[in-house]
Amino acid sequence: MTATLDITSAASVIGEQLGGCRPRIAIILGSGLGQLADRIERATNIPYADIPGFPVSTVAGHAGRLVAGSIESCDVIALSGRFHLYEGHSAATAGLPVRVAHALGARVLFVSNAAGGVRSTLRPGDLMIIEDHINLMWRNPLIGPVVDGDERFPDMSEPYDHGLRSILREVALDIGIPVTEGVYAGLLGPSYETPAEVRMLRWMGADAVGMSTVPEVLTARAIGMRVAGVSCITNHAAGMTNQPLSHHEVLEVGLRVQESFERLVRGFVGKARGTR
Ligand code: HPA
């Protein structure tokens, strides 16, 4: 459970180091997509180890630091490294960075992740704007006493904001990056899916599958943040080729698409910063 105390003390430790930075947009960087954190202007880097209540990230490809600064003249907070449920973290802990970013002023959450392609037309290296998700983690970060200001029963009829999705599509078109849209299924992991599970996911209407994002988005919606998200398709989901899946492959494809991913995020921030 996330104590209000954790949020307040994390936000105040970070806030003291931000100088004049007033973050409007929080960006969570998925596996292999961390490069953007190094390209933030006027950056303040804060290792998770220095933030009260933040566990230290244990997964290769997730550096575990918060970077506050500016992208396209918009103040942002980037979270490089997230808290996965498969690491043993609670769903509330997975949502903690979102609450802290909100306490520091962010009202838009941009999530990114690495995901396996369930829809047969998706290829490794494709970028997919998330239009909706299916929570198959059997966990919810909002279980327990209502945290100050939360909705008890948040509406989830538009988890990924319509206007922000349009911005992503426009930016992709402007800069010539092909994108697709689809539904992300969030599973607990850490084992990858079986071929039968992948067939089930396809039957359920999922286009991509991963092990993150859902708790963060549920948290953001409960506190009224608008959300946009992009999955980087790093592999065909299990059983769709005769290759076994590996985290190494996931990171490698992430690295390969970093440039286009970064341009998409920059364009997004530039356009989303003025929206309400
Ligand atoms: N399944 C689950 N999570 C993932 C995958 C996958 O195929 N690829 C990257 N993250």
Across the range 175-192, mean pLDDT stands at 96
Tell me how far the alpha carbon of residue 24 is from its chain's centroid: 16
197 lines ligand 1 (CB under 6 A): no
**Burial group, residue 241, by CB count within 10 angstroms (0-12, 13-18, 19+):** exposed
What's the domain count of the chain?
1
CATH number, position 80: 3.40.50.1580
57 lines ligand 1 (CB under 6 A): no
Domain residues for the domain of 137 are 2-272
Position 220 scores a pLDDT of 96
Q: In whole numbers, what is the pLDDT of the chain averaged over residues? A: 92
How far, CA to CA in Å, does 16 sit from each of 68, 72, 87, 104, 200? 12, 23, 30, 11, 48
Is 3's pLDDT higher than 80? no
Q: Whose CA is nearest to atom 7 of ligand 1?
A: 116
State the Cα–Cα distance between residues 131 and 126, nearest whole angstrom. Answer: 15
pLDDT per position as a tens digit, 7-34: 999 999 999 999 888 999 999 998 778 8
240 lines ligand 1 (CB under 6 A): no
Ligand 1 pocket mutation, candidates 127, 187, 207, 209, criterion most atoms within 8 A of CB: 209
pLDDT per position as a tens digit, 102-154: 999 999 999 999 999 999 999 999 999 999 999 999 999 999 999 887 888 99
Position 139 scores a pLDDT of 95
Position 31 scores a pLDDT of 79
Find the catalytic residue in 11, 26, 37, 84: 84
Find the catalytic residue in 62, 102, 133, 236: 62
Tell me how far the alpha carbon of residue 49 is from its chain's centroid: 20
228 bridge partner residues: 110
Residue whose structure tokens are 């065909």: 236
Q: Whose CA is nearest to atom 5 of ligand 1?
A: 116
How much of the chain, in percent, has pLDDT values that exceed 70?
95
Across the range 195-210, mean pLDDT stands at 98
Across the range 216-238, mean pLDDT stands at 96
pLDDT per position as a tens digit, 241-268: 988 888 888 888 888 899 999 999 999 9
- Contacts with 83 (C-beta within 8 Å, 6 or more apart), sequence order: 55, 57, 89, 93, 94, 96, 97
